[in-house]
Amino acid sequence: MNGLSQRYRTLGELLAELKARLGFVAQGPASNNNNPVMISFLQEAHEYVYDQLNPTPMRKKTVITLEQGSSLYDWHNDEEDENIDPGLVKSLWIMDGSERFPLSQGIAEKCREDETRSMPVRYDTIDGQIELWPVPDRAYGLLVEYIASRPRFAQSSDRPGVSDRLVLLYALVNAKAHFRHPDAQSVAALFASQMRRERVKQHENRRYFLSGCYRSEKTVTGSGGDYRFTPE
Protein backbone atom coordinates (compact mmCIF):
# COMPACT_ATOMS: atom_id res chain seq x y z
CA MET A 1 0.00 0.00 0.00
CA ASN A 2 1.45 3.37 -1.00
CA GLY A 3 1.28 6.57 1.06
CA LEU A 4 -1.18 8.26 -1.27
CA SER A 5 -3.77 5.49 -1.30
CA GLN A 6 -3.53 5.26 2.50
CA ARG A 7 -5.34 8.59 2.57
CA TYR A 8 -8.31 7.15 0.69
CA ARG A 9 -11.26 5.71 2.59
CA THR A 10 -11.76 1.96 2.56
CA LEU A 11 -14.51 0.11 0.73
CA GLY A 12 -16.27 -0.41 4.07
CA GLU A 13 -16.15 3.32 4.86
CA LEU A 14 -17.39 4.26 1.39
CA LEU A 15 -20.19 1.71 1.68
CA ALA A 16 -21.36 3.27 4.96
CA GLU A 17 -21.37 6.79 3.46
CA LEU A 18 -23.11 5.67 0.26
CA LYS A 19 -25.92 4.11 2.29
CA ALA A 20 -26.17 7.25 4.43
CA ARG A 21 -26.36 9.51 1.34
CA LEU A 22 -29.16 7.33 -0.02
CA GLY A 23 -31.11 7.44 3.25
CA PHE A 24 -30.81 3.73 3.98
CA VAL A 25 -29.29 4.16 7.44
CA ALA A 26 -32.74 4.92 8.85
CA GLN A 27 -33.72 1.35 8.02
CA GLY A 28 -31.28 0.03 10.64
CA PRO A 29 -29.96 -3.54 10.21
CA ALA A 30 -32.43 -4.06 7.34
CA SER A 31 -30.28 -1.72 5.23
CA ASN A 32 -27.65 -4.48 5.05
CA ASN A 33 -29.90 -6.24 2.56
CA ASN A 34 -28.77 -3.61 0.06
CA ASN A 35 -25.06 -4.18 0.66
CA PRO A 36 -24.43 -6.39 -2.39
CA VAL A 37 -25.86 -3.88 -4.87
CA MET A 38 -24.17 -0.97 -3.05
CA ILE A 39 -20.80 -2.71 -3.23
CA SER A 40 -21.32 -3.42 -6.92
CA PHE A 41 -21.97 0.30 -7.52
CA LEU A 42 -18.72 1.18 -5.72
CA GLN A 43 -16.69 -1.46 -7.56
CA GLU A 44 -18.06 -0.35 -10.92
CA ALA A 45 -17.24 3.24 -9.98
CA HIS A 46 -13.68 2.28 -9.05
CA GLU A 47 -13.14 0.57 -12.39
CA TYR A 48 -14.63 3.48 -14.35
CA VAL A 49 -12.72 6.26 -12.56
CA TYR A 50 -9.45 4.29 -12.66
CA ASP A 51 -9.77 3.70 -16.41
CA GLN A 52 -10.71 7.34 -17.06
CA LEU A 53 -7.81 8.80 -15.09
CA ASN A 54 -5.31 6.08 -16.02
CA PRO A 55 -3.05 6.95 -13.05
CA THR A 56 0.72 6.95 -13.36
CA PRO A 57 2.00 3.35 -13.17
CA MET A 58 3.35 2.54 -9.73
CA ARG A 59 6.62 0.67 -9.45
CA LYS A 60 6.77 -1.68 -6.49
CA LYS A 61 9.14 -4.15 -4.89
CA THR A 62 8.47 -7.20 -2.76
CA VAL A 63 10.60 -10.02 -1.38
CA ILE A 64 9.42 -13.64 -1.56
CA THR A 65 11.12 -16.02 0.86
CA LEU A 66 12.37 -19.12 -0.94
CA GLU A 67 12.41 -22.58 0.58
CA GLN A 68 15.00 -25.29 0.18
CA GLY A 69 13.91 -27.81 -2.46
CA SER A 70 10.95 -25.75 -3.75
CA SER A 71 11.07 -24.33 -7.28
CA LEU A 72 7.50 -22.98 -7.65
CA TYR A 73 6.11 -19.81 -6.02
CA ASP A 74 3.02 -17.66 -6.47
CA TRP A 75 3.18 -14.31 -8.27
CA HIS A 76 1.96 -12.56 -5.14
CA ASN A 77 2.97 -9.70 -2.87
CA ASP A 78 2.20 -11.20 0.54
CA GLU A 79 2.92 -7.99 2.44
CA GLU A 80 0.22 -6.06 0.58
CA ASP A 81 -1.89 -9.13 -0.31
CA GLU A 82 -1.68 -8.18 -3.98
CA ASN A 83 -1.37 -10.38 -7.05
CA ILE A 84 1.48 -9.61 -9.44
CA ASP A 85 0.87 -9.62 -13.19
CA PRO A 86 3.84 -11.52 -14.73
CA GLY A 87 3.54 -9.29 -17.81
CA LEU A 88 4.27 -6.22 -15.66
CA VAL A 89 7.37 -7.63 -13.95
CA LYS A 90 10.52 -5.57 -14.55
CA SER A 91 13.15 -7.79 -12.95
CA LEU A 92 13.85 -10.59 -10.47
CA TRP A 93 16.86 -10.80 -8.17
CA ILE A 94 18.17 -13.42 -5.76
CA MET A 95 19.13 -11.91 -2.42
CA ASP A 96 21.93 -13.64 -0.56
CA GLY A 97 22.88 -11.69 2.53
CA SER A 98 23.86 -8.17 1.48
CA GLU A 99 24.35 -9.18 -2.15
CA ARG A 100 21.80 -9.62 -4.91
CA PHE A 101 22.07 -11.32 -8.27
CA PRO A 102 19.80 -10.78 -11.33
CA LEU A 103 17.85 -13.71 -12.76
CA SER A 104 17.57 -14.33 -16.49
CA GLN A 105 14.17 -15.21 -17.93
CA GLY A 106 13.56 -18.53 -19.64
CA ILE A 107 14.21 -22.14 -18.62
CA ALA A 108 14.99 -24.72 -21.29
CA GLU A 109 13.63 -28.26 -20.98
CA LYS A 110 17.17 -29.56 -20.83
CA CYS A 111 17.75 -27.41 -17.73
CA ARG A 112 14.70 -28.91 -16.04
CA GLU A 113 16.26 -32.35 -16.42
CA ASP A 114 19.19 -31.21 -14.29
CA GLU A 115 18.26 -31.88 -10.67
CA THR A 116 21.23 -30.01 -9.22
CA ARG A 117 20.31 -27.75 -6.30
CA SER A 118 22.03 -24.40 -5.90
CA MET A 119 21.31 -20.68 -6.04
CA PRO A 120 18.75 -20.01 -8.83
CA VAL A 121 19.99 -18.15 -11.90
CA ARG A 122 16.93 -18.36 -14.20
CA TYR A 123 13.15 -18.03 -13.90
CA ASP A 124 10.04 -18.63 -15.95
CA THR A 125 6.25 -18.68 -15.56
CA ILE A 126 4.50 -22.06 -15.51
CA ASP A 127 0.83 -22.65 -14.67
CA GLY A 128 0.61 -19.10 -13.31
CA GLN A 129 3.54 -19.53 -10.90
CA ILE A 130 7.18 -18.48 -10.76
CA GLU A 131 9.48 -21.35 -11.68
CA LEU A 132 13.13 -21.14 -10.57
CA TRP A 133 16.17 -23.00 -11.83
CA PRO A 134 18.21 -24.52 -10.33
CA VAL A 135 16.03 -25.57 -7.42
CA PRO A 136 17.10 -23.56 -4.34
CA ASP A 137 19.55 -25.41 -2.14
CA ARG A 138 18.63 -23.23 0.86
CA ALA A 139 16.54 -20.23 1.82
CA TYR A 140 17.08 -17.10 -0.29
CA GLY A 141 15.15 -13.91 -0.80
CA LEU A 142 13.54 -13.38 -4.20
CA LEU A 143 13.25 -9.66 -4.93
CA VAL A 144 10.52 -8.91 -7.48
CA GLU A 145 10.32 -5.46 -9.10
CA TYR A 146 7.01 -4.89 -10.89
CA ILE A 147 4.41 -2.38 -12.00
CA ALA A 148 1.22 -2.59 -9.95
CA SER A 149 -2.05 -2.97 -11.85
CA ARG A 150 -5.43 -1.70 -10.63
CA PRO A 151 -5.63 -2.56 -6.93
CA ARG A 152 -8.14 -5.04 -5.56
CA PHE A 153 -11.34 -3.42 -4.35
CA ALA A 154 -13.40 -6.28 -2.96
CA GLN A 155 -12.81 -6.54 0.78
CA SER A 156 -14.01 -4.09 3.40
CA SER A 157 -10.46 -2.94 4.21
CA ASP A 158 -9.41 -2.41 0.55
CA ARG A 159 -8.71 1.14 -0.58
CA PRO A 160 -9.26 2.50 -4.11
CA GLY A 161 -6.35 3.34 -6.38
CA VAL A 162 -7.88 6.72 -7.25
CA SER A 163 -9.72 9.50 -5.43
CA ASP A 164 -12.25 8.02 -3.01
CA ARG A 165 -14.47 11.09 -3.49
CA LEU A 166 -14.76 10.44 -7.23
CA VAL A 167 -15.49 6.77 -6.61
CA LEU A 168 -18.22 7.67 -4.13
CA LEU A 169 -19.80 10.31 -6.39
CA TYR A 170 -19.94 8.02 -9.42
CA ALA A 171 -21.42 5.21 -7.33
CA LEU A 172 -23.94 7.70 -5.93
CA VAL A 173 -24.93 8.79 -9.44
CA ASN A 174 -25.67 5.21 -10.48
CA ALA A 175 -27.40 4.35 -7.21
CA LYS A 176 -29.67 7.41 -7.32
CA ALA A 177 -30.58 6.65 -10.93
CA HIS A 178 -31.24 3.02 -10.00
CA PHE A 179 -33.55 3.97 -7.12
CA ARG A 180 -35.07 6.84 -9.15
CA HIS A 181 -34.05 9.64 -6.84
CA PRO A 182 -34.97 13.03 -8.33
CA ASP A 183 -31.54 14.60 -7.68
CA ALA A 184 -29.55 12.05 -9.70
CA GLN A 185 -28.77 14.58 -12.44
CA SER A 186 -27.43 17.18 -10.01
CA VAL A 187 -25.05 14.59 -8.51
CA ALA A 188 -23.98 13.61 -12.04
CA ALA A 189 -23.12 17.25 -12.76
CA LEU A 190 -21.08 17.43 -9.55
CA PHE A 191 -19.20 14.26 -10.49
CA ALA A 192 -18.42 15.61 -13.97
CA SER A 193 -17.09 18.85 -12.44
CA GLN A 194 -14.90 17.00 -9.93
CA MET A 195 -13.59 14.69 -12.66
CA ARG A 196 -12.54 17.68 -14.79
CA ARG A 197 -10.68 19.18 -11.82
CA GLU A 198 -8.90 15.89 -11.15
CA ARG A 199 -7.76 15.66 -14.76
CA VAL A 200 -6.36 19.20 -14.60
CA LYS A 201 -4.51 18.35 -11.38
CA GLN A 202 -2.86 15.40 -13.11
CA HIS A 203 -1.02 17.83 -15.43
CA GLU A 204 -0.22 20.67 -13.05
CA ASN A 205 3.47 21.57 -12.76
CA ARG A 206 4.52 18.83 -15.15
CA ARG A 207 7.06 19.27 -17.94
CA TYR A 208 6.42 17.87 -21.42
CA PHE A 209 9.32 17.52 -23.84
CA LEU A 210 8.83 17.94 -27.58
CA SER A 211 10.99 15.74 -29.76
CA GLY A 212 12.44 17.09 -32.96
CA CYS A 213 15.45 18.79 -34.54
CA TYR A 214 15.74 21.79 -32.22
CA ARG A 215 18.94 23.64 -31.38
CA SER A 216 17.76 23.98 -27.81
CA GLU A 217 15.37 21.93 -25.72
CA LYS A 218 11.72 22.97 -25.85
CA THR A 219 9.26 22.19 -23.07
CA VAL A 220 5.61 22.70 -22.28
CA THR A 221 4.88 23.59 -18.68
CA GLY A 222 1.59 24.33 -17.03
CA SER A 223 -0.40 24.83 -13.87
CA GLY A 224 -4.09 25.40 -13.24
CA GLY A 225 -4.98 24.74 -16.87
CA ASP A 226 -2.56 27.39 -18.24
CA TYR A 227 0.06 25.67 -20.40
CA ARG A 228 2.90 27.41 -22.22
CA PHE A 229 5.58 26.47 -24.74
CA THR A 230 9.04 27.72 -23.72
CA PRO A 231 12.57 27.18 -25.06
CA GLU A 232 15.41 26.41 -22.67
pLDDT tens sequence for the chain (232 residues): 555 556 899 999 999 999 999 988 766 676 788 899 999 999 999 999 999 998 878 899 999 999 999 999 999 999 988 999 999 999 999 999 999 999 999 999 999 988 899 999 999 999 999 999 999 999 999 999 999 889 999 999 999 999 999 999 999 999 999 999 999 999 999 999 999 999 888 765 555 445 444 444 444 455 555 545 454 4
DSSP letter assigned to residue 135: B
Domain positions in the chain are 5-55+161-203, 58-148
pLDDT value, residue 3:
52
> Cβ of 171: how many Cβ atoms within 10 Å?
28
d(CA 218, CA 141): 45
pLDDT value, residue 215:
43
Which of helix, strand or coil describes residue 194? helix
The DSSP annotation for 96-129 comes to: ETTEEEEPEE---HHHHT---BSS--EEEEETTE
CB 142 within 8 A of CB 93: yes
ω into 182 cis (within 30 of 0): no
d(CA 38, CA 164): 15
Burial zone of 226 (CB within 10 Å; 0-12 exposed, 13-18 middle, 19+ buried): exposed
